[in-house]
Structure 1
Amino acid sequence: MDSFAKRAPAKLPVNQIAAARFGQQVLILLAVGQFVRQIRRQATRPAPRETAPHLARTGLILCATGTLFAALREIPLAEATATFFIGPLILIMPGAFSLEEAVGWRRILASAIGFTVPCR
């Protein structure tokens, strides 16, 4: 997706590229969600008190993706993608503090490895 966003014409607005990306994601996730719902025979929804934090995290993801697509117009693909890899760390912290999600050692280790292992 990043390479397609990089190759998109300069006159194509970043928000239109992001809308296409998230539109495709919604269609795929709706199909996957329907499949999982049939397997589990129940619908799981966030608690009402979790709605605002989930929406805030969604907004952060939208901003991060839009920023990435805008950066792709100015800097090389490899640099923009490497910079974007900070995203999981940024998304783990709000999830842990505002949504009270469990952040286990595997997530912490994966984030640490992502920052310490050099790309070749």
Structure 2
Amino acid sequence: MAAFTVNDACMKSLSGELPLFQAILLRSIAVIAFLGFMAWRAGSFRTPIARRDQLLIALRTVVEIAAAFFFISALFHLPIADVTAILQALPLTVTLAGAVFLGEAVGWKRLVAILIGFAGVMLILRPPLLFGEGSGFSVYSIYVLLAVACVTVRDLCARRISVAVPSMTIALSAAVGVMSLGAVGSLTQPWQPVSATSLLWLAGASFFVIGGYIFSVSAMRSGEIGFVAPFRYTSLIVALLLGLLIFGDWPDNLTLLGSAIVVATGLFTLYRERKTAKRQRAGLRLR
């Protein structure tokens, strides 16, 4: 989570140096080179993929492209801690979407936690309808919400993809999609020369996002998901520190309160999911 957040900080630092799509394209080239090599080493290209899984991977790639556009656009214009805090609502949105679209069981306690968590998100966003004009709400606040919606769909697709499909294949497909976004989008913007400073930020973004991929895959493969998942919230601590040290940003009290609510309800939701899964496994063993 620290690696992914440092990558975000590096990309945000490019906002005054390079156009959005050029930055996405240049970072994606390095990421694809690495993921392609890893997929080749793992023999992922030789694994046959069923038609249903192909469609799910395609859908996941499309929403990954949209998520990258909305997230990085917001990151270029909003404080990194604010953007990261809103993203912490993902466990809540994935749980709710799983109940609505996949028929997954969600008890009243988790539903209440989700509603409280969304109230925390509103404290961070502060839409004018609730907080009046001058609340700091902008179109990029909506972009963060759209990014959350896209990542929610992405995660639901990942749940439905067969376990036989290699993780590297899925990740590489998403990376190619994001690079395509950068390539097409860069045709609409004039390219800027890459200064030594920009090159350092791009190298940092590529290095840390690759590190994030390695560490997250390793954690998921060697650790229990119920134990690993809560560590996603450490990214908020890293974002707060980076926002202060690099960009001189520190959230106001309402944003900090909203962030605390989102994290608390997210952790509670993960705890309840873990507890429910244990009960279900115990029931299966008794049968």
In the superposition, the TM-score normalised over structure 1's length comes to 0.67
* Amino acid in the other structure paired with 1:15: F
Change (3 A) 1:32 1:100: closer
Which 4+ stretches in 1 moved above 6 angstroms? none
* Amino acid in the other structure paired with 2:74: A
* Structure 1 unmatched ranges of 5 or more: none
* Amino acid in the other structure paired with 1:63: A
* 2: CA distance, partners of 1:94 / 1:110: 20
**Which of the residues 49, 55, 58 maps onto 1:55?**
58
The answer for the alignment partner of 2:71 in structure 1 is: 68
* 1: CA distance, partners of 2:157 / 2:15: 35
User: Does residue 46 of structure 2 align to residue 28 of structure 1?
Assistant: no
* 3-state SS of paired residue (1:3): helix
* Conservation of the 8 A alpha-carbon contact between 2:53 and 2:162: no
* 3-state SS of paired residue (1:8): helix
For the pair shown, which has the larger CA radius of gyration, 1 or 2? 2
* Structure 2 unmatched ranges of 5 or more: 1-6, 95-151, 164-223, 233-265, 269-287
By relative contact order (CA 8 Å, sep 6+), the higher-ranking structure is 2
* 1: CA distance, partners of 2:26 / 2:51: 29
* 3-state SS of paired residue (1:45): coil
Which of the two has greater helix per residue? 2
* 3-state SS of paired residue (1:46): coil
How far is 1:56 from its partner? 1.1
In the superposition, the TM-score normalised over structure 2's length comes to 0.32
Q: Report the RMSD for the aligned CA atoms in angstroms.
A: 3.1
* 1: CA distance, partners of 2:63 / 2:226: 20
Deviations 1:63-104 (A, max 9, x none): 11221110112211122223334289413322334x366xxx
Written as runs of structure 1 = structure 2, the 5 A alignment for 1:1-120 is: 1-10=7-16, 12-37=18-43, 43-85=46-88, 86=90, 89=94, 90=152, 91-97=154-160, 99=161, 107=225, 113=230, 114=232, 115-116=266-267
* 2: CA distance, partners of 1:84 / 1:59: 19
How far is 1:31 from its partner? 0.9
Percent of aligned pairs with the same residue? 18
